[in-house]
Each structure stands twice: as C-alpha cells, then as structure tokens.
Amino acid sequence: MKPGFSRRRILGNLAGTLGAIATFAVAKKAKAAVQKVLVTSDAPKGYDPHQHQWLMAIDVDRCIGCGHCVEACKRENHVPEEPWYFRTWIERYVITKPAPGSAQSRGEVFVFSPNGGMRKPGEGQPKEPPVDLPPKEEVQHSFFVPKLCNLCHHSPCAQVCPVGATFDAPDGTVLVDPKYCIGCGFCIQACPYGCRFLNPITKTAEKCTLCYHRITRGLKPACVEVCPTQARIFGDMKQAAPDDPIRQFFQNHRVQCLKPHLGTEPRVLYAGLDKEVR
C-alpha cells in the first residue's frame, strides 16, 4: 500500500461523500416543498386538471373582424405590442368573382392580417400597413377567420420539445413552462398553424394558453369574454351540460379542422370554413 492511503481513510472518505449526498438530497426535497407552497399561494385553489377538458370552437360565420379578441389577448397576457407577435389573430379572406368569360368558378384569393386584425379604437380598418382591398363589386366571398392554437390531440410541438418545457396538460390545454424553456425554437418550427412565437423579452416560446390563469378560476378566456358576436365558443367538454353553448355548437354545425392531412388531429374545430383557409 502506498503511504498516506489506508483502508480506514478511504472508507471514511466514501462514507463522508455518501453522507453529503444524502444531506443534499433531503435538502432538495425540503426546498421543493417550500417552493411549491410559496408559488401556488396565488394560484386558484382546488383546481384539478383531470376534471376538465377545455375546448374552443370557432363559428366563422359570426366573426365580424372587430379585433377585440386580439387586443384583449395582448392585454391579458402581456404579449409584446411590437414586433408582430400574436397568441391569436384574425385573417381576412377575400375571394373575387372569376373574370368574365373565363371558365373559372372563382377569381383570385387574397388573405390579409394587418397587425393581426387588431383595430385600434377610432379606426375602422387598420391603416398600417395599408391594405388594398378589391372593390366591393368584384368580391364573391369575403369573411374573417379567427386563428389560435388548435389544441392538437397529437401536438407536434410537444413532441419535438427537447427538454419537456412545452406539453399537453391533462385538461386539454397545451402550455409552455417559461421557467424551463431553453428557447431553441423547435416547437415554433413544428407548429403547422403558426400559433407560436419566441417572446423577444423572455426569450422563451409563447403561445395561446386558453388564458389558463382565467379558466382555472372559472372565468372565460379574454378573447371569448370580449367577442361581441359569440364567434368563439368556449367550454369544458367534461362538465358541459347538453344546453351548454359548446355542446349546442357541435350539435348544430358541421365542422372542419385546419390541415387535416398532417395528422395532428386539432381539437379546435371551425364551422363555416372555406377550402382556401390554411
């Protein structure tokens, strides 16, 4: 044996190390418990995610494109005003009549979403950037489509997150954990509906949370709250009675989803869509 090494010393060192590890482990559990108490003091009490299955549905025929929802969402969730980031937005579709004499069924399709469709008070249509709408006589169909996270059954965004920062919550929402997200942007690339963005201030991914902090307190999402025409229908599929608006919606409307060929099985369904809507 080399001088300086003795069996006793080695065993002592080993025991010391194991003891330190055990102490740290206990301390870690204690810290976690304290953290949980402190953080959740503001959270709604007694909310069990397994008791709910939140869902939003869109009635395209009822949307008047006022942009109240876009503004309310930005205010409610402190989304950066500029540059153009939106958790929800409105798209305007304008389909013109076919040129006279042509054998086409439809003319051209134009899609706009100036400033996400958000109109400032005092504005009719957003002025910036200027939008050239075709004149009224040339229009065959024109409508607004609200867009948001499609709450996919098989979320491609949650599938590709490398660390588990974005996930399908048990209550039907798809959330981002802002304390854990590393800001790689893979989920933003993977979302086929363009509903995610990288928040330039927090440098984490962000998206519609169905106003999680509201629905867990029995409130409605901000966009649903301010919609003047009930174009957005919100409900809890686990607890909705047959006369609940969301059940009535599915009872009364035939519905479509966006990009069905991708297999994401979006749960947000639209009534009154057109083939041109992506």
Partner 1 sequence: MRPFRMPPQILRLVLLTVGIVTSYLIARFFLTPASFGELGWFRANALMEIASAKPVYAGKKACDECHSEEYQKLSQAEHKSLSCEACHGPGAEHADNPDIHKMTILTFSHCVRCHEADPSRPKWHKQINPKTHYPGQVCTECHVPHQPNEVP
Partner 2 sequence: MTNTVTNIVVEMIPHFEGYVYPNEATQQPLWSILIVLYPYITGLVAGAFIMASLVRVFNVKALEPVYRLSMLTAFAFLLCAPLPLLFHLGHPERCYEVMITPHLTSPMAIFGFVYAWYLMAVLLLELWFDYRRDLVRWADTTPGFRGLLYRLFTVGVTDLSEPAIRLDATIGHVLSVVGIPSAFLLHGYVGFIFGSVKANPWWGNVLMPIIFIMSAMVSGIALCVFNYMVLSWVRRRTVDMRCLDVMGMFLFYALVVDAAIEALDWVHRVYSAEEGFQLMQYMAREKLFYTLNLGQALLGTLVPLVLLGGLQLIRKRFSELVRRRLYFVSALLILVGVLAMRWNVVIGGQLFSKSLRGVMSYKMEFAGLEGWFMGGVLLALPFVVLTVLITLFLSEKLPSAGHPEPKPAPV
Residues that bind partner 2 (CB under 8 A): 80-86, 89, 91, 110-113, 115-116, 128-129, 147, 156, 159-165, 180-186, 188-198, 200-204, 262-263, 278
**Shortest distance in whole angstroms from residue 229 CB to partner 2:** 22
Which residue's CB is nearer to partner 2, number 138 or number 168? 168
**CA 146 to mean position of chain CA atoms:** 13
d(CA 214, CA 223): 11
Which residue's CB is nearer to partner 1, number 58 or number 226? 226
In sequence order, the 6+-apart residues with CB closer than 8 A to the CB of 203 are 183
**Shortest distance in whole angstroms from residue 259 CB to partner 2:** 8
Residues 151-170 that bind partner 1 (CB under 8 A): 164-170
Residue from the set 52, 87, 92, 207 that interacts with partner 1 by CB under 8 A = 92
Is the Cβ–Cβ distance between 273 and 259 less than 8 Å? Answer: no
Phi-psi category of residue 186: left, alpha or beta, with phi > 0 → left and psi -120 to 50 → alpha? alpha
DSSP notation for 217-230 = TTPPPHHHHH-TT-
Instruction: For the beta carbon of residue 98, count every other beta carbon within 10 angstroms.
Output: 14
> For partner 1, how many residues bind (rule: CB under 8 A)?
73
Residue from the set 80, 131, 177, 274 that interacts with partner 1 by CB under 8 A = 177
Which residue's CB is nearer to partner 1, number 39 or number 262? 39
Binding of partner 1 by 28 (CB under 8 A): yes
**Shortest distance in whole angstroms from residue 69 CB to partner 2:** 14
Binding of partner 1 by 182 (CB under 8 A): no
Q: Which long-range contacts (CB under 8 A, 24 or more apart) does 190-194 make?
A: 190/156, 190/157, 190/159, 190/160, 191/156, 191/157, 192/156, 192/258, 192/259, 192/262, 192/264, 193/147, 193/149, 193/150, 193/258, 193/259, 193/266, 194/147
**CA 269 to mean position of chain CA atoms:** 14
Residues 36-55 that bind partner 1 (CB under 8 A): 36, 39-44, 47, 49
Give me the 117-146 binding string for partner 1, x by CB under 8 A, dash otherwise.
--x-xxxxx-------x--x--x--xxx--
Which residue's CB is nearer to partner 2, number 85 or number 250? 85
Residues 244-273 that bind partner 1 (CB under 8 A): none
